[in-house]
Amino acid sequence: MSFILSTIAFLVLLTLLVLIHELGHFVVALWSKVTVDEFGFGLPPMAKKLFKWKNTLFSLNWIPFGGFVRMKGENSMDPNVRNEQGSFAAASIPKRLAILVAGVFMNFVLAISLYTAGFWLWNWSPTYLSVEALHVAEERGDTVVEWGLYLTDISPDGGAYEANVMTGGILKSVDGNSVLDVDDVLAAQKDKNNVQYEIRYFADSQNHEEFDDKVFVVQVDSGKTGVALSKIATNIETKDVGFFGGLCFALRESWTVTSGTVDGITSLFKSLIFVQGVPEGIAGIVGIAQLTHSSVQEGIMVYLRLVALLSLSLAVLNVLPFPALDGGRVVFVVVEMIIRRPVNRRLEVMTNAAGIMFLMAVMVAVTWSDIVRILSS
């Protein structure tokens, strides 16, 4: 049952993200008086013609995720067809640019809408990329943070190892004294031969309601016990912020996620160019399926947050000035505007074909990396 639910959630996620994107192209194309020959639900081959509206055929296709918009003359090599009234190529440059960026715009709208609802109605916690950024948010009054010292490593030469202390817990106190940073720990251990650690181990990384507090008597050598500690936020609570506060948080969150996506894409291309493999943290279709399964297990809020994140990622990817992507097609229109004549159609087609081949190769590499990571975990 869990597998079926995750599969449905995965298909819904992909379909929603792509259809929202294509809906942007569709609406602006109609507004621009460009004829849309077909709006497809799913990807070809066609399974069924659903209905026709304003000269647009709405179709159901066999591959059950995503969608597409096919505009009149968009892929034609015939200059007569491309120059016909209602053809995409015959539309003015501003209208073509508006059509091309509309998909990306809709993905941003979806993400910001979900984030706004999340921060306003459900008190989501923003994403902070560093402890320093979280401290700033805490000082600004945006959040209430509970801090803890996370046990990241145990040295086999230290007293903690001999006392069977395990990593993955939060050090709550030393000899009954609460500790919030490493200096507190060092001060509590100074000039002592042994100390008592109270460590909280959670049921899992996401569930902080179920935990087990354990006590260890640990030998101290020169003020140290052989544990490596990292200060982390164990709980972040966002205050009620109202609609406009939620919108501000949403815009800030969108900027954070967008910046992270740009960094990730840059890292991916650098790694591929220098044949270093796919970097950590980059997920393809298999990785997204795994993330979807995890989010379904954790609840609807985590799933909706994943939808928002992936919607932003899709927007950033599509806006890149790379052949075959919306951003690459924008480049050709801008070049046409600069040189005041259409770009050679054959050159455009060949460039986009090369771009598609490269993107497919990247997709295969990332998917293979996903599979290897899953099998080795």
Query: What confidence tens digit (pLDDT) does each residue in 290-320 have?
Result: 899 889 988 899 999 999 999 999 999 999 9
3-state secondary structure of 213: strand
Number of domains in the chain: 2
Position with higher pLDDT, 149 vs 138: 149
Asked if residue 108 and residue 216 are part of one domain, the reply reads no
CB 40 within 8 A of CB 27: no
DSSP conformational letter for 123? -
Where is the domain boundary, 192, 220, 238?
Answer: 238
For 207, residues 6+ apart whose C-beta sits below 8 A from its C-beta are none
Phi, psi of 148 (to 5 degrees): -155, 160
Rg, the chain, Cα only: 27
* Residue 65 pLDDT: 67
Residue 133, pLDDT score: 83
Tens of pLDDT along 199-257? 999 876 555 667 888 999 999 998 889 999 998 888 888 888 899 999 999 999 999 99
Specify the pLDDT at position 36: 94
pLDDT digit string (tens) for 129-144? 777 888 888 888 888 8
Q: Which two tokens stand for residue 89?
A: 């190529």
**154 half-sphere exposure, CB direction, 13 A CA radius:** 15
- Please report the pLDDT score of residue 150 as a whole number: 93
φ/ψ of residue 27, rounded to 5 = -65, -45
- Spatial CB neighbours of 55, under 8 Å, sequence gap ≥ 6: 35, 36, 37
The mean pLDDT of 154-181, rounded to a whole number, is: 92
d(CA 26, CA 105): 13
> What average pLDDT does the chain have?
89
Same domain, 351 and 328: yes
What is the rounded CA–CA span in Å between residue 252 and residue 267? 23
pLDDT digit string (tens) for 77-119? 888 888 899 999 999 999 999 999 999 999 999 999 999 999 9
- The proportion of the chain whose per-residue pLDDT surpasses 70, expressed as a percent, equals 97
Winning range, highest mean pLDDT, from 38-42, 140-144, 194-198, 372-376: 194-198
Copy the structure tokens of residue 296.
């379904």
Instruction: Examine the domain organization and report whether 341 and 309 are in the same domain.
Output: yes
HSE, side-chain direction, 13 A CA sphere, residue 275: 0
Both 294 and 180 in one domain: the answer is no
pLDDT of 25: 95
Count of positions (residues) in the chain:
377
Counts of helices then strands in the chain (DSSP H, E): 11, 8
Instruction: Measure the CA–CA gap between 74 and 26, rounded to whole angstroms.
Output: 13
Q: Which residues, other chains included, contact 5 with Cβ-Cβ below 8 Å and sequence gap of 6+?
A: 296
Same-domain status, 202 and 300 = no
Whether residue 293 is found in the same domain as residue 363: yes
| pLDDT (average), residues 25-50 | 92
Q: Which domain holds residue 21?
A: 2-123+247-376
pLDDT, average across residues 162-169:
92
pLDDT of residue 207: 55
Question: Is 119 in contact with 243 (CB distance < 8 Å)?
Answer: no
Task: Provide φ and ψ at 263, rounded to 5°.
Answer: -60, -40
Find out whether 94 and 334 touch, Cβ atoms under 8 Å: no
Examine the domain organization and report whether 277 and 209 are in the same domain: no
Q: Position 224: which residue type? A: K
Claim to verify: residue 191 and residue 286 sit in the same structural domain: no
